[in-house]
């Protein structure tokens, strides 16, 4: 039946032990109880707003142009930004020479001396000097990890490693787009010639003669700008200067126990002296493409980061790289993307590229801004291996460190690179640049892991987490969403587990769902829009105060709050009941809701029967009543009894 509003009726004690029933009669009669206790005050302000200052060190975003090979001006740690970015490797390994000179010849320029090729052979076990292990424990673990992975890999892993090695990296990572993969590849006009595993890998080297990222705007009017942007992200982004500075061999050259995938043996470089392992060029390029795609299509942002991280591990499974190679490649990818997205020369291109990508993908999938996110997540795990958030999160955490233990201070403060907030500007259009920096800050990995404690903060950046909301609330966190802007400004979900002592305030008109296992203690206040509980602990441990707008209870199990829960007159409490505890609210502190509205919906296919009584709220109700109750599809009565609120389905 169609929905009805209800009004309050006080029945005699002989009818239902003094229970208050709300009969479905088509609206409020204005006689809601006025005897409820005075509403408590909102959670107190924290007196400060968190920030993430730019570190006072030379910034890669300002110096990416120095990342050059064959140029005497940019051949040292001090003069080459790319070499400097991943320089914490020098805590573990001292290369034969600290100069970009492996296979490099360069003329003198002014006061910068000429470069002659290093004596490094690239073969660590041939008896010639190759460098010095400064931390043998970590470096031995680095190679042992590669031994373990290549020894124990499955055939499916070997096949995936082959494709990620031989195909264009841009083509490979697009399968992280899930339901959007086909539309993306078609719009970009991407091609690959690597479509099968070679039958005779010992004699045939299969190289991809496809077009990698696709066709640019010169001959692709509908998607070419997006392809142009992917290309532009490679400006000054070569990993060769770092490889030729650090002069650290690939794992299979360190140990014959590292088993290179047989299909890839023909791809082994014949000149080891110019084929350093640190850092991984495949991971740097693939993750750079993945980050750029996440930038323009943030609806698949976490999944694209997952795909980039997966490709990095596939380099280890292939036998071609060690974990430290891959970690540094990831760092380099983030830095190159940040620098090129901040380059004024790319300002108009990145805007046009993202608009073009979204327009083309929505047209190809017959979606709108309101339905695009749902379509992008419409496939099951059997069709989209990145469909499960928990699986992605666990894999992301593991691939950030590959099992290395922390070897330095574990509690160094977070550091956010200059300009890194650009990576999140499309993901969080409702946040300020300063707030986006704080998102990165509060989702960073702890300090102390090998090579990850670079001075700028790229090593600890956890982009998977950063694309899933804040990680901590420190001080006052005020979010203002404008639903008229559509997309994430209208409806967003933060899946991280949010800690901290800060307070969240939601303003505006959008809906923000908190879906993590949250423990923040400063409380939640709504001055506009809808704050939605998508998990049992969504609201942390503080008070919840709805001064305007609404709050929605949509978790699959009962939502519990340990503090006060306040709904001022005129606000709305929505409860999405699933018949298994979902949509219920248990309040540990003072509960205030007089003269507010209750709206009951039914979720996940649950449909109650006439005569059912559905529990909604527990926690000490007192002499209070909602002014209006709507139960979708039914006439219903509200039951207030023994500190609980329920609805009885009348018809």
In this structure, the answer to whether residues 506 and 359 fall within a common structural domain is: no
Domain match, 366 and 494 both: no
Residue 636: which residues within 8 A CB-CB, separation 6 or more? 4, 6, 22, 24, 600, 629, 647, 648, 649, 650
- Are residues 363 and 216 part of one domain? yes
The values of phi and psi at residue 602, to 5°, are -120, 130
pLDDT of residue 466: 98
In three-state secondary structure terms, 407 is coil
DSSP state letter for 609: -
Q: What strands, in cross-sheet order, belong to the sheet with 511-514?
A: 491-494, 511-514, 530-533, 550-553, 572-577, 597-602, 628-631
Length of the chain, in residues: 651
Question: pLDDT-derived band of residue 11, with 50, 70 and 90 as boundaries?
Answer: very low
| Residue 77 resides in a domain | no
Q: Which of 368, 403, 438 is the last residue of a domain?
A: 403
Helix, strand or coil, per DSSP, at residue 462: coil
Distance (Å, whole) CA 644 – CA 145: 56
Question: Are 142 and 261 found together in one domain?
Answer: yes
Q: What is the mean pLDDT of residues 417-428?
A: 98
Distances (CA, A) of 375 to 317, 344, 427, 483, 484: 32, 33, 17, 20, 21
The Cα 196–Cα 75 span in angstroms is 41
pLDDT in tens, 458-507: 999 999 999 999 999 999 999 999 999 999 999 999 999 999 999 999 99
- Which DSSP string do the residues of 26-54 spell out, in sequence order? SS--S---S-SPPPPPPPPP-S-B---PP
Percentage of the residues of the chain whose pLDDT score is greater than 70: 94
Residue with the two structure tokens 């909301």 = 469
Tens of pLDDT along 176-210? Answer: 999 999 999 999 999 999 999 887 767 677 789 99
* CA separation for the pair 575, 584 (Å, rounded): 7
Domain, as residue range, for 486: 470-649
Quick check: is 101 in a domain? no
For residues 645 and 529, membership in a common domain is answered with yes
**pLDDT class of 642 with cuts at 50, 70, 90:** confident
Mean of the per-residue pLDDT values of the chain? 93
**Choice among 10-19, 40-49, 143-152, 620-629 with the minimum mean pLDDT:** 10-19
> Do 360 and 278 lie in a common domain?
yes
Task: Kindly state whether residues 481 and 381 are assigned to the same domain.
Answer: no
Residue 545, beta-bridge partner list: 525, 566
| CATH number of domain containing 195 | 1.20.144.10
Q: What is the pTM of this model?
A: 0.93
Q: Does 368 share its domain with 511?
A: no
DSSP structural state of residue 550: E
What's the domain count of the chain? 2
Does residue 395 sit in the same domain as residue 528? Answer: no
Query: Does 410 reside within a domain?
Result: no
Regarding whether 479 and 384 lie in a shared domain, the answer is no
- How far apart, in whole angstroms, are the C-alpha atoms of residue 562 and residue 549? 22
Token digits for 180?
């959007």
Helix residue ranges, H only, 66-168? 81-85, 136-152, 155-166
CA 226 – CA 596 distance, rounded (Å):
48
Domain boundary among 356, 385, 403: 403
Contact 82, 332 (CB under 8 A): yes
Average pLDDT rounded to a whole number, residues 225-234: 98
Cis before residue 568, ω within 30 degrees of 0? Answer: no
Give domain status of residue 579, yes or no.
yes
DSSP string, 213-230: T---TTS-TTTHHHHHHH
Which residues make Cβ contacts (< 8 Å) with residue 551, sequence separation at least 6?
526, 530, 531, 532, 533, 544, 567, 571, 572, 573, 574
* Per-residue pLDDT tens digits for 37-58: 688 999 999 999 999 999 999 9
Q: Is residue 597 part of a domain?
A: yes
CB proximity list for 221: less than 8 A, separation 6 or greater: none
């Amino acid at each position: 039946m169609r929905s009805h509003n209800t009004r309050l009726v006080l029945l005699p004690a002989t009818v239902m032990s003094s229970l208050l029933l709300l009969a479905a009669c088509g609206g409020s009669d204005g006689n809601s109880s006025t005897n409820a206790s005075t509403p408590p005050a909102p959670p107190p302000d924290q007196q400060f707003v968190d920030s993430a200052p730019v570190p006072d060190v030379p910034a890669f975003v300002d110096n990416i142009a120095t990342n050059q090979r064959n140029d005497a001006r940019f051949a040292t740690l001090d003069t080459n930004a790319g070499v400097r970015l991943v320089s914490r490797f020098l805590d573990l390994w001292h290369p034969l020479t600290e100069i970009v000179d492996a296979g490099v010849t360069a003329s003198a320029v002014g006061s910068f001396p000429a470069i002659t090729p290093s004596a490094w052979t690239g073969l660590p076990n041939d008896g010639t000097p190759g460098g010095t292990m400064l931390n043998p424990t970590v470096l031995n673990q680095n190679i042992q990890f590669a031994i373990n992975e290549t020894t124990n890999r499955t055939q499916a892993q070997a096949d995936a490693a082959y494709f990620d090695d031989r195909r264009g990296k841009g083509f490979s990572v697009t399968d992280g787009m899930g339901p959007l993969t086909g539309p993306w590849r078609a719009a970009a006009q991407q091609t690959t010639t690597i479509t099968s595993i070679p039958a005779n890998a010992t004699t045939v080297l299969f190289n991809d003669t496809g077009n990698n990222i696709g066709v640019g705007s010169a001959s692709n009017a509908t998607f070419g700008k997006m392809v142009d942007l992917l290309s532009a992200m490679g400006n000054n982004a070569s990993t060769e200067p770092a490889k030729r500075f650090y002069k650290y061999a690939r794992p299979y050259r360190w140990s014959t126990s590292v088993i290179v995938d047989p299909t890839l043996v023909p791809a082994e470089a014949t000149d080891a002296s110019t084929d350093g392992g640190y850092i991984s060029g495949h991971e740097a390029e693939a993750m750079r493409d993945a980050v750029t795609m996440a930038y323009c299509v943030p609806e698949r942002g976490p999944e694209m980061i997952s795909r980039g991280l997966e490709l990095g591990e596939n380099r280890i499974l292939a036998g071609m790289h060690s974990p430290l190679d891959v970690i540094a490649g990831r760092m380099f990818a983030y830095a190159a993307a940040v620098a090129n997205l901040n380059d004024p020369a790319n300002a108009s291109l990145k805007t046009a590229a993202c608009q073009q990508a979204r327009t083309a993908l929505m047209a190809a999938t017959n979606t709108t801004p309101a339905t695009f996110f749902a379509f992008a997540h419409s496939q099951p795990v059997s069709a989209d291996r990145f469909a499960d958030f928990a699986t992605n999160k666990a894999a992301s955490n593991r691939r950030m460190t590959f099992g290395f233990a922390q070897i330095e201070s574990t509690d160094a403060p977070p550091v956010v690179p200059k300009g890194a907030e650009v990576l999140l500007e499309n993901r969080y259009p409702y946040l300020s640049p300063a707030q986006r920096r704080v998102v990165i800050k509060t989702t960073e990995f702890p300090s102390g892991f090998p090579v990850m404690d670079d001075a700028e903060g790229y090593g600890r950046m956890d982009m998977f987490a950063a694309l899933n909301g804040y990680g901590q609330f420190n001080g006052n966190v005020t979010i203002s969403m404008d639903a008229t802007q559509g997309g994430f400004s209208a409806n967003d979900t933060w899946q991280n587990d949010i800690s901290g002592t800060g307070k969240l305030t939601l303003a505006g008109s959008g809906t923000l769902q908190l879906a993590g296992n949250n423990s923040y203690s400063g409380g939640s206040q709504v001055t506009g829009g809808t704050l939605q509980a998508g998990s049992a602990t969504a609201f942390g441990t503080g008070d919840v105060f709805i001064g305007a707008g609404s709050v929605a209870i949509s978790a699959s199990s009962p939502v519990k709050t340990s503090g006060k829960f306040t709904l001022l007159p005129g606000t709305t409490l929505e409860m999405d009941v699933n018949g298994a505890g979902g949509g219920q609210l248990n309040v540990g502190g003072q509960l205030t809701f007089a003269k507010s509205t209750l709206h009951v919906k039914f979720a996940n296919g649950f449909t109650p029967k006439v005569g059912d009584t559905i529990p909604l709220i527990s926690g000490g109700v007192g002499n209070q009543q909602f002014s209006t109750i709507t139960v979708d599809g039914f006439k219903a009565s509200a039951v207030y009894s023994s500190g609980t609120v329920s609805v009885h389905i009348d018809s």
